[in-house]
Amino acid sequence: MRLIFAAAVLVELASCNSNDDLGTQAIEIPGITIDANDDDCCSAKEALQTYNFLQTLTPITELSTSVEGKYDVSVYSKTGKLHIGYNELFFVVTKKSSGNYVKVFQISELTPLMYMSKMNMYHSTPTTDKVAYYNDDYPAVKSGWVSFLMNTSEAGSWTLAYNVSVLGSNGSREAADITINALPEGQQWLKSFKVENDTYYISLVNPTDWQTGKNTITAYVSKKNTPATMPYGLAQEKFTIEIDPRMPDMGNHTSPDNVSLTKQADGSYQGTVNLTMTGRWRIHLAVKDAQGNVVAGGDDLADGYSSLFWETTI
């Protein structure tokens, strides 16, 4: 059975199964078809939810691709732009024949690569270990992340590639040129530290969502790969990251009730930071290993308390 499905807004929204209740009356939108027998696609309700969610994002058009002439793959971020530090990416696949959102697909080998022109060398950067379903409300959306070490400039340029598999059809987005923007002044969301011969990176996830008061914060600790051209996956070591927020423009005063970041089952690190007022905050870090030894930061420098810190302005 094929039905005409419509949303409350007159846009060409991707369609899917129509076996759930959307009310007794539908608004027809020319060209939008729904196949109730197509189990590979969303229900009508799921399609509406997915469409509405995608309206909060912006496509990164240079990362789109197609698979065997049957499917289109689109990549989104919150702003449609990429910057130094943590960037969440969202992947959606649609059928060319009908615009349906496809629920079963895989994104693999997400590969960022920077060419350092002055040194004639390449290196990668921290990335998600896997691209997974975003959440149960959006069964046609997958997400992953990349944390870029530096911005695009005369010194270097970035590409990003990935593989995609959709219902037995395989394709790829070969290395696409991308622009990585510098962060605004007063923002530093990615820091590195060394333990003996190993280099680690701490990527702060959610600084743009912070409010005054207590905030749950998330970070990832990644380990530089060998060779350096391979994406840097999550570090297997277990650290504790103590935090000491200070306001450098307000006499370096601190705040109470902060909770160290500890490793979670999903590989992320979570803790609590209390930002008691608006302004620029420098969140000083002390990284401890599993035995409780400080391996980075926590050096109590007279001019800044720690040489390892994030910085954010709220």
Give the Å distances, CA to CA, from 76 to 145, 156, 257: 11, 24, 36
Instruction: State pLDDT tens for residues 129-144.
Output: 999 999 988 999 999 9
pLDDT of 14 strictly over 70: no
Q: Token digits for 258?
A: 């902060």
- Answer yes or no: is pLDDT of 16 > 50: no
Within 8 A by CB and 6+ apart from 128, the residues are: 110, 144, 145, 146
Check pLDDT > 80 for residue 90. Answer: yes
Element (H, E) at 64: none
Q: How far is CA 215 from CA 188, 190, 202, 204, in A?
A: 17, 18, 18, 13
What domains can you pick out in the chain, each with its CATH number? 2-181 (no CATH), 190-313 (2.60.40)
Tens-digit pLDDT profile for residues 245-294:
999 999 999 999 999 999 999 999 999 999 999 999 999 999 999 999 99
Residue predicted with more confidence, 8 or 56? 56
Tokens for 153, please give them.
């400039």
Single-letter amino acid code for the residue at 2: R
Q: Tens digit of pLDDT for each residue in 19-60?
A: 444 443 443 322 336 566 677 866 777 777 888 899 999 999
Residue 295 has pLDDT above 90, yes or no: yes
Q: What is the pLDDT of residue 34?
A: 56
Is pLDDT of 128 > 70? yes
Compute the distance between CA of residue 86 and CA of residue 20 in angstroms, rounded to an integer: 37
Residues 313 and 300: beta-carbon distance below 8 Å: no
Q: What is the mean pLDDT of residues 164-185?
A: 96
Please tell me the distance from the alpha carbon of residue 21 to that of residue 34, in angstroms, as a whole number.
14
Tokens of 80: 């449609």
- Regarding beta strands 259-263 and 169-178, do their DSSP bridges make them parallel or antiparallel, or are they unpaired? unpaired
- Per residue in 207-230, pLDDT (tens digit) is 888 999 999 999 999 999 999 999
Q: Which residue, 65, 201, 213, 228, is CA-closest to 145?
A: 201
Residue 151's CB is within 10 A of a number of other CB atoms, namely: 16
Give the chain's end-to-end CA distance (angstroms, integer).
53
What secondary structure does DSSP assign to 39-67, as a single string? TTB-BHHHHHHHHHHHTTSEE-GGG-EEE
In tens, the pLDDT along 104-124 reads 999 999 999 999 998 999 999
